[in-house]
Amino acid sequence: MIAIVLFGKPGAGKGTQAEFLKEKYNLTHISTGDVFRYNLKNGTDLGKQAQVYMSEAKLVPDEITINMLANEVEKNMDKDGFLFDGFPRTIKQAEALEALLKEKNIRLAGTVALEANDDILVARILERGKTSGRADDQDEAKIRYRYTEYNENTAPLIKYYQDKNVFHAVDGIGSIEEITGRLSKVIDTLI
């Protein structure tokens, strides 16, 4: 069983691409955002714990997040592997994910980053904001702040995963089909 981490800045197309990749490779797509929304909506113990932090505009501790992800992994051990989207975001989270994968005997096949220019991504998100209903998709200042957060906290994962020889960059600009093709060429070498 394998795991692939798909990451990139907000608007890079992770969610869109994950929909294609999960079918093609028989992977369970685990989106951190979706996992949080499920736990909050259903009032799970972990959702209630996360809500306490979120209501105070604080980051949810990694332990709660990794426990949510562990539950998702446990529920989906019937696939060929997992596609993580939106996690990890920090080196500490990467280490926690690696510990979880090791415990479940899942091989980290690779990490794939969708790369694109910030201005192009801002335009994508603003366009998405017209239909997503998400307030943070409609405010350019908030979008650019998310990029600052990404550069400070998530970008260091590039070197972290390069040092482990599992990092792959993919051009995230083009049609959905073109990007899927580029991602598939990389993933075919990983599995």
Q: pLDDT tens digits, residue range 103-136?
A: 999 999 999 999 988 888 888 888 888 887 777 7
User: Could you say which of 9, 22, 89, 124 is catalytic?
Assistant: 89
The pair phi, psi for residue 53, each rounded to 5°, is: -70, -45
User: Could you say which of 104, 128, 142, 144 is catalytic?
Assistant: 128
Q: Which amino acid is at 104?
A: K
Q: Which of 22, 50, 19, 15 minimizes the C-alpha distance to 36?
A: 50
Task: List pLDDT tens digits, range 87-98.
Answer: 898 899 999 999
User: Could you say which of 37, 107, 134, 185 is catalytic?
Assistant: 134
Task: List pLDDT tens digits, range 151-188.
Answer: 888 888 999 999 999 999 999 999 999 999 999 999 99
pLDDT on residue 39:
93
pTM: 0.86
- Alpha-carbon distances of 111 from 74, 93, 107, 125, 130, rounded to whole Å: 21, 14, 12, 23, 31
User: Between 21 and 145, where is the model more confident?
Assistant: 21
Structural domains of the chain, count: 1
CA 95 – CA 180 distance, rounded (Å): 28
Q: What is the DSSP string of 59-75?
A: PPPHHHHHHHHHHHHHH
pLDDT on residue 98:
95
User: Could you say which of 79, 142, 144, 146 is catalytic?
Assistant: 146
User: Which tokens go with 130?
Assistant: 């017209």
CATH classification of the domain holding 142: 3.40.50.300
Lowest mean pLDDT among 48-62, 71-85, 87-101: 48-62
User: Could you say which of 14, 22, 124, 182 is catalytic?
Assistant: 14
89 is catalytic: yes
182 is catalytic: no
Cite the beta strand spans of the chain per DSSP E: 2-8, 27-31, 81-85, 107-115, 167-171
134 is catalytic: yes
146 is catalytic: yes
Structural domain boundaries enclosing 102: 2-190
